[in-house]
């Protein structure tokens, strides 16, 4: 999808992005101002990537109930939240301040699923409230949405120690709750935010640079949801050179949401 650099919304997006990245000075580069901008391309994988291994469900609650059994028994989001808060199969819970379940409007057509809470999220009990959350809010605003028209959660409900990346087993321990979460919300579109979330939802070892911008059918409890992946805002703050790909992906998400 081509970017219209004469569009005021696009220019406001770039300005906000540069400010969030800490840019405070403009320097002309060697490319002429009248030279057309080109978008980087992401090559398609030559062959399907191997699926991420799925270990036997060993995570249990007191009494021997597995995570899958706990999740399947939930008929409402309130029941699911309560089940997650009772769950003792994730080691992160012991050191976390609170359970970070979700934020936004569960009736919204857009469901975003990130990786895990950070320090600010652990303190407030809501996903994406730190610096990367502020950028996510700007990203949503750029396509006409906010937390009242989107629903946000993570594949891990507790902050990992020192914000380290969770292992595959740690992610998979919580996955029955995440999949039941999707089924109960029943969104029009699912977006995995970041590589860890994308790998977990799409059961793949491919990296985010290959997964982003690609639409897949995410099958949950017999229903197929249109799903795609998006660069994590924290990654974009560190690597603002990928803002064009992210903006293009956001436009594609908006188009899918607005499609008949």
pTM for the full model?
0.78
| CA angle, residues 48, 51, 52, in degrees to nearest 5 | 145
What average pLDDT is seen over the chain?
A: 85
Q: With 0-12 CB in 10 A as exposed, 13-18 as middle and 19+ as buried, what is 59?
A: buried
Residue 4 lies in a domain: no
Write out pLDDT tens, residues 145-165.
Answer: 999 999 999 999 999 998 899
Position 65 scores a pLDDT of 78
Closest listed residue to residue 237, CA positions, set 143, 163, 136? 136
Instruction: Please provide residue 223's backbone torsions phi and psi, each rounded to the nearest 5 degrees.
Output: -110, 140
Residue 243 lies in a domain: yes
- Is the pLDDT assigned to residue 21 strictly greater than 80? no
Residue 167 lies in a domain: yes
How many residues would you count in the chain? 260
- Is the pLDDT assigned to residue 178 strictly greater than 50? yes
Look at the block and give the residue holding tokens 């769950």.
87
Instruction: Please provide residue 104's backbone torsions phi and psi, each rounded to the nearest 5 degrees.
Output: 100, -160
Residue 45 lies in a domain: no
| Distances in whole angstroms, Cα of residue 226 to Cα of each of 58, 137, 202, 208, 229 | 30, 22, 12, 17, 11
Say how many domains are in the chain: 1
Provide CB contacts within 8 A for 153, sequence distance 6+.
101, 102, 103, 111, 112, 113, 114, 127, 178, 181
Report which DSSP code applies to 98.
S
Residue 179 lies in a domain: yes
Residue 9 lies in a domain: no
Q: Do residues 180 and 80 lie in contact, with contact meaning Cβ atoms separated by under 8 Å?
A: yes
Where do runs of H (alpha helix) occur along 63-110? 67-72, 77-86
What domain range includes position 91?
A: 59-258
- Is the pLDDT assigned to residue 47 strictly greater than 90? no
Residue 27 lies in a domain: no
Q: What pairing do the DSSP bridges indicate for beta strands 110-114 and 151-154?
A: parallel
CATH number of the domain that residue 121 is part of: 3.40.470.10
- Is the pLDDT assigned to residue 27 strictly greater than 60? no
- Is the pLDDT assigned to residue 99 strictly greater than 70? yes
Q: What pairing do the DSSP bridges indicate for beta strands 189-193 and 103-104?
A: unpaired
Using a pLDDT cut of 90, give the percent of the chain over it: 73
> Per mean pLDDT, which range of 27-36, 150-159, 185-194 is the poorest?
27-36
Residue 78 lies in a domain: yes
Buried b (16+ CB within 10 A) or exposed e, 101-131: bbbbbbebbbbbbbbbbbebbbebebbbbbe
């Amino acid at each position: 999808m081509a970017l219209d650099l004469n569009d005021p919304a696009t220019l406001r997006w770039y300005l906000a992005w540069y400010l969030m990245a800490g840019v405070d000075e403009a320097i002309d580069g060697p490319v002429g101002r009248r030279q057309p901008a080109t978008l980087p391309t992401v090559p398609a994988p030559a062959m399907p990537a191997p699926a991420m291994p799925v270990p036997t469900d060993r995570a249990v609650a007191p009494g021997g109930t597995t995570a899958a059994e706990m999740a399947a028994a939930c008929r409402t989001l309130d029941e699911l939240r309560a089940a997650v808060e009772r769950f003792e199969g994730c080691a992160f819970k012991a050191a976390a301040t609170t359970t970070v379940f979700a934020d936004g409007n569960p009736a919204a057509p857009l469901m975003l699923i990130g990786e895990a809470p950070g320090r600010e999220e652990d303190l407030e009990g809501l996903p994406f409230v730190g610096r990367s959350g502020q950028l996510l809010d700007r990203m949503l605003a750029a396509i006409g949405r906010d937390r009242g028209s989107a629903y946000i959660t993570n594949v891990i409900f507790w902050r990992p120690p020192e914000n380290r990346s969770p292992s595959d087993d740690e992610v998979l321990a919580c996955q029955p709750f995440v999949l039941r979460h999707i089924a109960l919300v029943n969104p029009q579109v699912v977006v995995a935010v970041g590589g860890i979330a994308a790998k977990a939802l799409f059961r793949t070892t491919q990296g985010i640079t290959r997964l982003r911008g690609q639409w897949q059918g995410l099958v949950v409890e017999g229903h197929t949801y249109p799903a795609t992946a998006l660069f994590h805002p924290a990654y974009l703050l560190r690597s603002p050179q990928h803002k064009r790909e992210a903006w293009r992906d956001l436009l594609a998400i908006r188009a899918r949401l607005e499609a008949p």
